[in-house]
Structures are given as C-alpha cells and as structure tokens.
Amino acid sequence: MSGVADADARLVWSAVAEPADEEASWLVGRLGHADALAWARAADDDPVAATVALAADPREADRVLRAVGRWRPRLAAADPDALRERAARIGARPLTAGEPGWPAALDDLGWSAPHALWVRGDADLAACWPRSVAVVGSRASTAYGEHIAAEVAAVAADAGLAVVSGGAYGIDAAAHRGALATGGVTVAVLAGGVDRLYPAGNATLLARVIAAGAVVSEQPPGFAPQRQRFLSRNRLIAAAGATVVVEAAHRSGALSTARHAAELHRTVAAVPGPLTSAASVGCLRLIRNHEAELLASPADVLELALPVGEAPAPGDAPRTGLDFRSREERQAYGAIPRRGAPAGAVAIAAGLTAEEARTALAGLAGRGLAAVAGGVWTRADGDQPA
C-alpha cells in the first residue's frame, strides 16, 4: 500500500498522465490514486511483479505496463509540493475530488473525470458548475455569431447562471464578455496550464475572467496548450448544466463538446444560422439530426439551464437591467474597469477597434450608463465590476 496521500497522488497523476488517458484511468479505477501511483513507480523497476499484481486482468495489465513508458519521464519530476509551489507563485490553487469547492458535476465523466483541477480565481466551482451553461462555437466566428453568443451569455449570467467556455477567440471570447458585461460569473477551461493565458490575444480578457470567476485546467502550471488537449478539455466544458452551440463549421471542436454533453445527458441547443454560412453548417446539422434543440432566442437558455420552477414562463422577457443597443456597447461596458480607463484602453480590453469603442461609449453615455471626465471613462450607474 502507498503512503502517499490521496490528494497528493491525484496532483501527481494530473502531471503524469495526459487528460483522458485510458490506461491511467483504468489503473486508478482498479487501485485508487495512491496505490496506482506506487504501482507505476514500482513497475519501472520490476515489471514482472507489476504484471502479477494485476494478473486478474492480464490483457489490461499488458496495456498499462506499456503505458508506463510514456509516464516514466514525468514521474520523477512530479512532486506534489513542487506542483503546489509552482501554482502558488501565480496565485493558483489545486483542487481534488472530496475537497470543498470540487465541482461534483465532473464526476459524471466517469473514467475520464480529471484527476485534479488547477484554478486561478475565487469562483466557488462546486456552487456554480451545476448552475451553468456552456456557450461554445467557432473561432472563425461571424459578427452575428458573436452578437448572439454575448446575448445568450448575458441573459444566463444575469439569471445567476455561470457561463462556461474555453477562452478562445471568436464565440468563446464573446460568451465571456457577455457574462462579464452583466457582472456575472464566467469560467474558462484552458487546454494548458493556468499560468499561460492562451491565446495571448485574449490575455486581458482572461485576466478579467479570473477576477470575476475562474480559469481552470486539469493540468498543472507549466503545461503548454496542444491540439489534443483542446479536444480533451471539451468534455469538462460539456459537464455544464446545458450546452449552447452558437456557430460551428462542418468540422469543429464545438461539435465534440456537444457530443460529450449528449453522452452526459445534458441538454444541448444550437443556434440556427444562414444556410449559406459555413459557420452554421454544424449547428444546422445538430438541429436536423435531432441532436440539439433549436435556440430561437437568447431567453431560451433559461429554460434549458435553470432548474424546473426557476425558469421563466414561455414568452416572458428576461431582465437584463441594462439598455445595450449593440454588441459593441455590451462589450465596451463590460470592459470599463473599476477605476475607469481611457477609451483606447477600453477598446483593447473589449476587443473593439478604437472607432467602435468611441461610438459605443458615446451611446452608453447618452443613456447614463457611462461617463467621461478628463479622458477617463467610468460606469455612471454605480455597477462596477469586481
């Protein structure tokens, strides 16, 4: 039996095995995290004894023994205290199953549940993940798609739902901005360590996500985002209470999120788009094949994600409390920091051009939602971001 604590072993496995590593998951399921770690370390020195220890299932034992070769380079360097120290240097913390704050919704993933989470931000994941909606879609989004994603996220966040997405360009970024614009909670699930806010062009946005919610990863700081890790992290996003696909091309990572959500028996909805738009092909296919409900309006998200009895009656308009006349206004409003900022800084934070930001800020000022003094813009209604 291993003397390593279960939580420590979970952290080590998060550094040793790639996400959704089938052999690691089988071994952990058979022995538990701590004893599985002891077995993997011993197997390197005595493969015969290791095989005997798993003799009840020789076929799986052979597969797992071969997997030790890919775990070996990471095993020696995976020290739980060093991993915690690395995280602490960037203000991150580890979280494992059974600890306060662990989102039990991820346990629904079964064998592919993450060994641990690494978190930057103060959001209570245990509380917000069950009351959440994933808003996902194409990086190569259209203006229409970004507008709808922001509206869906804003309606959800204003109703107390956490908005979960992947922090990427396009639909993901629009969803995070929509949630931030209403002062809501949003969570970005990254494909690499939380020390690397990727993509770099969204670093400012992701810093705001940390302030208002959290960025999370199933791998420790120091791990780079890689193609396979993007696909793997989609299953964590899909564990949200419901998933809305806003735009998706014929081959899109957002479609894998939808598939994972369906396997988890979560509600999936898709936004219809023009038949001539390549960005809508995936959504239209989901609807045609009855793999997703049709999202007819942003307000529909409340019926999908809120518990029975809390969702508004059909036809009721959701209350946003803010009079935004355009996507640019919503983004500009959400980008104004607590102490205010010049228009140029707001434009960068909101992902707008300088002209778009100026026009949006002027519109906000005209309706009493923003004010400018000495070239510094602030929110004029007292609703300052945390």
Q: What is the pLDDT of residues 258-267, one digit of tens each?
A: 999 999 999 9
The β-bridge partners of 119 are 93, 216
Q: What is the pLDDT of residues 15-59, one digit of tens each?
A: 999 999 999 999 999 889 999 999 888 887 777 777 776 766 667
For residue 213, what are its two tokens?
């919610």
Q: Is the pLDDT of residue 165 over 90?
A: yes
Q: What's the CA gap between 240 and 101, in Å, rounded? A: 15
Q: Residue 153 in contact with residue 186, Cβ under 8 Å?
A: yes
Residue 322 falls in which region: left (phi positive, over 0), alpha (psi -120 to 50) or beta: beta
Q: Residue 211 in contact with residue 385, Cβ under 8 Å?
A: yes
Q: Is the pLDDT of residue 316 over 70?
A: no
Q: What's the CA gap between 361 and 347, in Å, rounded? A: 10
Q: What's the CA gap between 91 and 93, in Å, rounded? A: 7
pLDDT of residue 294: 95
Q: What's the CA gap between 295 and 59, in Å, rounded? A: 46
Q: Residue 254 in contact with residue 245, Cβ under 8 Å?
A: yes
pLDDT of residue 381: 54
Give me the percent of the chain exceeding a pLDDT of 70: 91
Q: What's the CA gap between 168 and 237, in Å, rounded? A: 13
Q: What are the φ/ψ torsions at residue 379 (nearest 5 degrees)?
A: -75, 130
Q: What is the pLDDT of residues 198-212, one digit of tens each?
A: 999 999 999 999 999
